[in-house]
Structures are given as structure tokens and as C-alpha cells.
Amino acid sequence: MGKSGSRDLIQGTLDMLILRTLLRGALHGYAIAVAIEQRSGDELRVEEGALYPALHRLEVAGLLKSEWKLSETNRRARFYRLTSEGEKRLQDEASNWERLAAAVARVMEAV
Amino acid sequence: MNWFLKLRKRRMLESELDEEIAFHRNMRASDAAAGIVPPPFGNPTRIRESMREAWTFGWIETTLRDIAFALRGLRRNPGFAAATIGSLAVGIGVTIAIFTAADDLLFRPMPYKDADRLVMVWEANPRLATAAHNVISPGNFLDWKTRGRVFEDIAAFSEYKTNLSDGERSEQLRMQSVSANFFPLLGVRPWSGRIFTEAEDLASAHGDSLVLISYRLWQSWFGGEASAIGRRIMVNSLPRTVIGILPPDFYFRNREVDLWGPIGIDPAKPYRKTSGRYMMAVGRLRRGVGLAEAQVQMTGLARVLEIENPVFDKNWTVLLEPLRSSLVRDVRKSLLLLLGAVGLLLAVACANAASLLVARNSSRRAELAVRAALGAGPARLTRQLITESAILAVLAGTGGILLGWYALAGLVRMAPEEITRTAKISMDWQIVVFALILAAATGLVFGLVPALIASGGVAAEMKRGNRWGSANRGSARAGLVAGEIAVSVVLLAGASLLFRSLVKLTNADPGMNPDNVLTLRFSAPPARYKEPQRGVQLFRNAVDRIGKLPGVRSASAVSYLPFDGMAAGTGVTIGGRPPALPGEQPNANVRTVLPRYFETMGIPIRLGRDFTAGDNTRESPIRFIVSEGFVRKYLNGEDPLSKTISVEMDHPNPFGEIVGVVGDVSEGALGKAPEPTVYYVHAHLPYAGMTLLLRTRGDPLGLAAPVRQILHELDPAIPVADIRTMRNVLGETYARQRFSAILLAGFSISALFLAAIGIYGVLAYSVSERTREIGVRLAVGADAGRIVTMVLTEGARFVLAGLAVGMAGALGLSRLLSSLLFDTGARDPIAFTAAPAILLAVALLAGFIPARRASRLDPVLALRME
């Protein structure tokens, strides 16, 4: 396991971030990892040991679909895209997360 | 779903994953070249492992791989596999064999309605040693039936051997005569046909009678034909009509009974005046009436009957005994003992398996550590270890069931008749499930616990870089083996005690010479030999002709063989004395014999003479021969040959002269004081059925054919039954003791064997752990003898500790055995010296092998090992 401490992602959160990242279109695994890191302003690091199992888990759960296509560098890569079920799940998770984040924020401000 | 397809798909997925990872790395590499900091990449093997677990069908594949891997591991280490599987299989096999027997006899419900409310109702006479569970009088039975408040109902029955024939075939069968309420009382309905009514029961005393047959007889004799019901058959030369067939699993007290007829007890008859005690009764207690309460009430009724019938019932009371207890009375204790012993053996087997697994897992820590480094998660490792334990358990369970099957077959063959007669001892699926659960539990507990310790400890172990194993685990193993030794000593001591007792029993003087005596049962059916003296004549002729056969030294006959569990007993009056007070009258066993009985049986004549042919006629005056015990007990040193006695067997009972005194035969129970016995000659007390006896020069069984031939010539319609040698008859009396002794010996040898494996295992493991240390010692000049002593001393610590605990336990437990021992103290010094001596010898042998291996180590190789 990596030793990146607070920058490790808890599993459920990683699932949500993957779903969110795929909302704008199909991506391969590496692009997903890079996208998450960049959009988090390098605050979050995605470890592949977590990423690929998560992708498969989500695919098995029917939230993602994958297919092999040519990448931007003209190499074969597996692209993941969201299913309609995945979109629905993302909405649920996002609203849950917002509530949770707001609640945590309120507590922290109160102190 | 077809998992083969899944596996193919799985291979495809695997290559896709590889490609995906390769792509990822490639991208990372090109990004790095472009100066972009790439996201980290983890351990690819670890990713694959967890990916595989995410695929839904992963578990099948993982399990198959685990199984294949475990089997490979077991094959690589066959000694370990054989010892572990063998230990558990022996433990499980023996346990299920004994448990099956005990379950049948002690625990399995009997095939009757509410069987726990069924009781045997005996008469008992506290003044007679042999009358603790006495057969009963029909007179008393009728009073119990009408006046006993504790019974819902009470039925009478008796059992005897009969001859079934239809003019062409004949067969010797056992029959029970029962009262009409017998089957309803047990809650048993005929499988087909009907049972007889009260009226038919009563009528049976006169003329034509009815009979029910067993399912087995219906199949064998009647070929399972529906027309069997209504068929007329000859039972003991009397016609009977078959009216019903009983269910296949029905039996009452004896599985070998095939015929049930009416007993025909007539309440109008004065039974107390005309007959003695000869039948049995089974009662159903009223709901809510406990055994103790019922016993109190019946004792009260018996006291009333004693007052009403001051002669017949003097000193007689009633004893209630639960039906099951009455069947296993003498066997129960042996069985519980064996059950306890088998529990101990199972404990030894489990300890052995546990100790082997612990040793194996600790020596595998390096392997486990490597596998963890290669990416196997802790859950993965634990599952691998559990799979291995499960495989061991399944193999041991299967082996145990097979072993148990054979053990049970041997057990049934060896078992005394008193066990096999009352129970159908067979393995059923419950026992098989029990064995599998037992195997699984042992495998998991003793495989999983060490596995968890091992896999938990791997990380820490890796950091320490320690391959020396931890000392406390070694001492835990030594503790297990010390426990095995203790249990083995207990079993060995028990077996030695039983064997000492058996040897003494076998060598005890029975008061007769059982060698070269052939016995066979032969009956003159009363239906055709209406005049008893015709039967007497038949036997006279038979004995005369048999006595003349070449190879026969002498021939005779007796009403009931000694050591065969039956004898008539009755009151005796001694001539010239005032009538004894009621209840204080002398009592004796009574046997009817033909002349030369004592010579044939090898019973010495101490005084006077044998019966002669002249005595064996109705016209001659009645004369008696008595046993030494009779003289000792009742004649107060007076000259027996001047005395006359009267024996209450017939009506009237004239006084007759005592013409001889013969040696005591210690029948009943060998080693108990012999019962006083009075012998009649056949003509004066004619029995229809007698046992013929012949003393032969060579093998007694060789004469069976010519004897049969003679008897066939005398009366072709009479079958010959129960051809046995007197040796066998005698052997049956201590069959139970022999059975217990052999079984306990078998257990203790198994336990000893397992303990030897355990000792060897601990020492061999310790030697391999200490290779380096031993190498140093050898290098600095220790000689082989010192190393051997060192290893043996290490073993001696736990062997002696186990021995001490075991001896203490054996001394404490041996009192449980005392009632099973004959002429052997529960702390017999020989048995208690033999047990530890045998164990020490075996321990020394088991310890010597690893010790020698240690002493032969090459110091250079030993030191280079790390």
C-alpha cells in the first residue's frame, strides 16, 4: 500500500469520483487517474492498485461499460463509460456527499 | 452456469488485464519523459490478486487452485499427510463404530409408542441371590392386572423355541406367546392381517390356535405371498392358522423371534396352586406416574398379595424396571466404559493431528512469508491454510467412515449374543453426518487456529528475519503430546486390568471339563408323545445308540445345560426335619439328567454313585443326587447319603433318598458361589426337550453328522437344533468380558501408536530446529552418545510428566472398572506396572529415531544450513 497518508482515497469516494469523471465521456484507466489528480489540484492521488479493481467492481455492478478502442496515442486501450444506472448512482452519491460535506463543514466552523 | 466457459473467459480477461496494465505503464513512461509527474503504480501482482477476487467466478478458480496446491503440498510431505490423516481416521473410525453400537443399545428410541412409559414387571425374592429379576406367576400377574393402579395396561408374554413345519420343510424358530393386549399396549399394528382378540386368546388354551408371523418369516418361508394369511402351519406339531404379519422393524426384546401366538391365561384358573413362575410381563405406566411412585404402589400391592397367599408369595415382591434398562442391564456399564475410552482415544487422535498441524505450519512460516511478499493478502493465505485443513478433514473423515464400517462389522461379529440379540447394530446416515462434522470440526479447529497464528505472525517474523521458530510453540506441542501419553496410560492400564481379569476368568475352574463335549438340543413334541414316558424312552434309545458310536466315550442328556443361562429353581424339604418356616425353606436349582451325565460332563462324583439305568424307570423309587454346595449349605455336616429330600417340582412330591454327591459347577457367573443343585433322573421328572451330550475322543463336531443320522432314524420329524461344543457354551458366558477387554486393548494400542507418532513428531521437529546448535556441539567434540542422551532427555521431560498424570488418572478411574473385574483388584500391581512399562518402551523407541538422526549430523553441513 502507498504511504501517502491523508491523500489516500477511501473506497466509496473513489467510486464516486470515477463516476463523476466519466460523466463527460468515455475514458481509459490512465486518463481517469490523471483527470482525478488534475481536477483535485494534485491533492488526490489515485493508486492503480485501487483504481482497476474499482473499475471492475463498478463494471460488474452494471454502473460502467467498457470497450477496447484506440487511444489518442493510437494504442489499444480499454475505455470506460457511464451507464444510465451509473448516472443515477452518481446523483445519489453526489447528493449524499454534499450533505455530508456540508455537515462536516458546519461542525468545523462551529468550533 | 457452465464454469468451464467461465474459466475460458477468465483467461481472456487475464490477458486483457495484462494489456491494460501494460498500456498504463506505457502512458506513465511517456508522460514521465514529457516531464509530467505520473500517478504511482502499485504492485502488479497485488493488483492481479485483488482483481481476481473481484471477478464473480473467482472463488471457484481460487478454490480449485487452492485444492490443487494443497494436494501438491501433501504429496510433497507424505509422512505428515499419512500421520495426520491416519490419526484422525483412526480416532473417527473407532468413535463412530462404538458410538453406533452405543446409540443402538442405549439411546435410539425403541419402535413402540411412548416407549419411555414401558416397564418390565418382575417378581423378586430378596432371599434368593438369583431371583433379583425373576420370571412371574400368572396368578400374581392377574392380580396386578386387576388391582394394580399404576398401569394403563399390563401384558404377559413368554418366549421359547419351537419347530415350524408344513409336512415338507421344518425349521427351528423362536416364538413368543403373548396376551391379546400385548400389541395394543406396545402401540404396534400388524403390517397385514389382524391380531387375536381376548376371546381367541382365552380359547387358545384348548384346541386350534392362531399365530402371527414376522415380516422376515413371511418373506423367507411364505415367499411374501398374500395367501400366507389364512394358511395353516404346524408349530410344535400342533396346527395353527396364520392371521397376521408384523411390521418389518418390529421386535420385542429379541430380534430372532418369528412367531407370536396367544398365551391363553385364564383368570378362572388357580395358577398359584398348579404352576410356578415362568412368564414375563410388560406394563405401560399411566401418564404422569413416575417409576419411583409406581414401584412404591406395586410394592404395597405385593405385600397385600403376600398376606393373601402366605405360602406361594412368601418373601416375594415386585420389581419394576424400565424396558430399555432391562435389555442392557449388564451391557450398559461395559458400553459406557467403552464410550468413555473411545472419547479418550478421539482426544488423543485430535491432539496428535493438532500437534502435527502446528508443527507443519510453523515450519512453513518462511514459505508463507514469501507468498505474502509476492502479493498474497492475509485473507488469501488463511483461506489457503483452511483449504488444506478441510482437505485433510475430508480425507480423514472418509477414511474414518470406511474404517468405522469395518470396525463395526468386526464388532458385531465379536460381540456377545446378549448385545446382538436385542439390537440391530447398523451404521446410518446420522452417524455418517456425525463423522463428517467431527472431521470438519477437528480439521478446522486444529487447522484454522494454527493457521491464524501462523499468518498473523508472518509479518512480524519477516521483520525479525527469524527462522528459529519460537520456543513456546514447541512447549505447547510437548504439552499436547504429554496429554496423549497420559490418556494412553489410562487406556493401557484399563486394558491390562481387563486382560488380567479375562485370563483369570478363562482359567477359573468351572467344576466340569468342557473339552471334547458335543451338545445338541432335541425335543419330543408333546403333541405326539402324549405319554411322557414315551419321550423318556425316546431319549433312552437315543443315548444308548449314540453311546455306541465309534469315537464316543460316553453319552447322556440334561434338561438345561449349565452355563446356558437357564435353570429351574425351587424349594426343597429335608426329611426328618420339622417343616421350615415359610420363606426359610432351602432352595435349589433342579436339573433332570440321564445316567452317565456326570461322567460325560466331567463333573466328579464325591460320594455315593451315579444314576443307573435301573433308576431311570417310572417304577423305581425316586432318588436324588445333590451338589457339594447343597450339602454344605443345608445338611450341617450330616451324612448326606442317609438323608431323604422332597423337591417341589411336581405334584405330589414324594421324599426320595440321596444316592450321590457331585462336585459344584460354578455356573451362572464364574467365580460366584455355586448355587446348590438337585439332580433328578429323567423318568421321574420327564422333560419333553433335553440337551444331548457326548464326550468324544477327537473333535466333537466331527460326530455331529452320525448323531443327526441316528436321531433321524429314531424320529425323522424331529429337528436337531443348537449343535455346539461345550467349550463354545462356556465361552459365551465370558463373551462380554472378552469383548470389553479386546476392545479396550484395541483402543489402548491405537492410542499408544498415536502417542508414539506424537513423541516422534515433537522430537524430530525439535532436532531439526536445533540442527545448528547440535552442529556446534558436535563440532566442539560432543560424541554421538551425548547427543542421543540430550535428545532423549528432552523427550523424557514430557513423557515422564504425561506418565505421572496418566498413572494418577488411571488409579483414580480404575475403580469404575471394579465391577467388571473378576478376581483382580482395581489397583492390581501387575497391570499398573505393565502399563507404564509398555509406554516407556514405546516412547524410548519413538524418541530414539530422531535422537540417532541428530547424533549422525554432519557438523559442517549443519552449520552451513542457515
B143 plus B263 within the same structural domain: yes
How many other β-carbons are positioned within 10 Å of the β-carbon of residue B174?
16
Q: Where is pLDDT greater, at B55 or A62?
A: A62
Domain hosting B776: range is 484-498+737-866
- Note whether A73 contacts B56, CB cutoff 8 Å: no
3-state secondary structure B359-427: HHHHHCHHHHHHHHHCCCCHHHHHHHHHHHHHHHHHHHHHHHHHHHHHHHHHHHHHCCHHHHCCCCCCC
Q: Is residue B763 part of a domain?
A: yes
**Residue ranges covered by each domain of chain A:** 5-110
B711 plus B747 within the same structural domain: no
Among B300-309, B564-573, B721-730, name the one with the lowest average pLDDT.
Answer: B564-573
pLDDT surpassing 60 at residue B115: yes
Contacts of A47 in chain B (CB under 8 A): 39-42
pLDDT surpassing 80 at residue B50: no
pLDDT surpassing 90 at residue B663: yes
Q: In what helix (H) or strand (E) does residue B690 lie, and over which residues does it extend?
A: strand B689-696
pLDDT surpassing 70 at residue B453: no
B703 plus B560 within the same structural domain: yes
Nine-digit cell string for B768 = 531439526
pLDDT surpassing 60 at residue B759: yes
Instruction: Find cell 506505457 and name the residue.
Output: B26
- pLDDT for the residue numbered B556: 95
Q: Where is pLDDT greater, at B386 or B807?
A: B807
- pLDDT for the residue numbered B462: 45
- pLDDT for the residue numbered B318: 94
Contacts of A67 in chain B (CB under 8 A): none
Q: Is residue B414 part of a domain?
A: no
pLDDT surpassing 80 at residue B259: yes
3-state secondary structure B496-551: HHHHHHHHHHHHCCCCCCCCCEEEEEEECCCCCCCCHHHHHHHHHHHHHHHHCCCC
* Residues 6+ positions from B612 with CB-CB distance below 8 Å: B595
Question: Is residue B586 within 8 Å of B633, Cβ to Cβ?
Answer: yes
- pLDDT for the residue numbered B330: 66
Return the CATH number of A5-110, one of 1.20.1740.10, 3.40.50.300, 1.10.10.10, 3.20.20.60.
Answer: 1.10.10.10
By C-alpha distance, the chain B residue nearest A78 is: B20
d(CA B269, CA B276): 13
Contacts of A71 in chain B (CB under 8 A): 23
B598 plus B697 within the same structural domain: yes
Q: In residues, how long is chain B?
A: 866
User: Which of the listed residues B15, B41, B57 is the one where a domain comes to its end?
Assistant: B57
- Domain total of chain B: 4
Is the preceding omega at residue B652 within 30 degrees of 0, hence cis? yes
B143 plus B274 within the same structural domain: yes
* Residues 6+ positions from B109 with CB-CB distance below 8 Å: B115
Nearest to B42 among A49, A60, A73 (CB): A49
**High-pLDDT (> 70) share of chain B, %:** 84
pLDDT surpassing 60 at residue A71: yes
Among B139-148, B292-301, B381-390, B539-548, name the one with the lowest average pLDDT.
Answer: B381-390
Confidence grade of residue B625 (pLDDT, cut at 50, 70, 90) = very high
Task: Name which of B60, B61, B126, B512 is nearest B316 in CA terms.
Answer: B126
ipTM of this predicted complex?
A: 0.73
B710 plus B819 within the same structural domain: no
Angle at CA B360, nearest 5°, toward B358 and B364? 115
Q: Where is pLDDT greater, at B663 or B818?
A: B663
pLDDT surpassing 90 at residue B174: no
By C-alpha distance, the chain A residue nearest B51 is: A53
How confident is the model over B200-218, as pLDDT tens digits? 888 876 656 899 999 989 9
Averaged pLDDT, B127-148: 85
Averaged pLDDT, B32-48: 61
- At B739, which amino acid appears? F
Nearest to B20 among A29, A34, A49 (CB): A29
Confidence grade of residue B471 (pLDDT, cut at 50, 70, 90) = very low
B491 plus B576 within the same structural domain: no
Q: Where is pLDDT greater, at B725 or A49?
A: B725
Nine-digit cell string for B857 = 549430523
A78 touches chain B (CB under 8 A): yes
Q: Is residue B265 part of a domain?
A: yes
CA distance A59 to chain B (A): 10
- pLDDT for the residue numbered B119: 94
B543 plus B581 within the same structural domain: yes
- pLDDT for the residue numbered A24: 82
B772 plus B810 within the same structural domain: yes
Q: Is residue B100 part of a domain?
A: no
B675 plus B754 within the same structural domain: no
Confidence grade of residue B434 (pLDDT, cut at 50, 70, 90) = confident
B794 plus B693 within the same structural domain: no
How many other β-carbons are positioned within 10 Å of the β-carbon of residue B109?
9
How confident is the model over A5-45, as pLDDT tens digits? 334 455 567 888 899 999 888 888 888 988 888 888 777 77
Q: Is residue B591 part of a domain?
A: yes
Among B105-119, B577-591, B783-797, name the one with the lowest average pLDDT.
Answer: B577-591
Chain B residues within 8 angstroms (CB to CB) of chain A: 16-17, 19-21, 23-24, 26-28, 30-31, 39-43, 46-47, 50-51, 54-56
Q: Is residue B350 part of a domain?
A: no
- pLDDT for the residue numbered B516: 93
- pLDDT for the residue numbered B685: 85
Which range among A99-108, B209-218, B481-490, B494-503 has the greatest average pLDDT? B209-218
Q: Chain A, 26-65: which have a CB under 8 Å from a chain B CB?
A: 28-30, 33-34, 37, 45-50, 52-53, 56-57, 60
Nearest to B54 among A28, A57, A71 (CB): A57
Averaged pLDDT, B778-790: 83
- Note whether A53 contacts B50, CB cutoff 8 Å: yes
CA distance B367 to chain A (A): 22
* Residues 6+ positions from B528 with CB-CB distance below 8 Å: B237, B717
Averaged pLDDT, B812-832: 79
- Note whether A29 contacts B39, CB cutoff 8 Å: no
Q: How many inter-chain contacts (A to B, CB under 8 Å) are there? A: 65
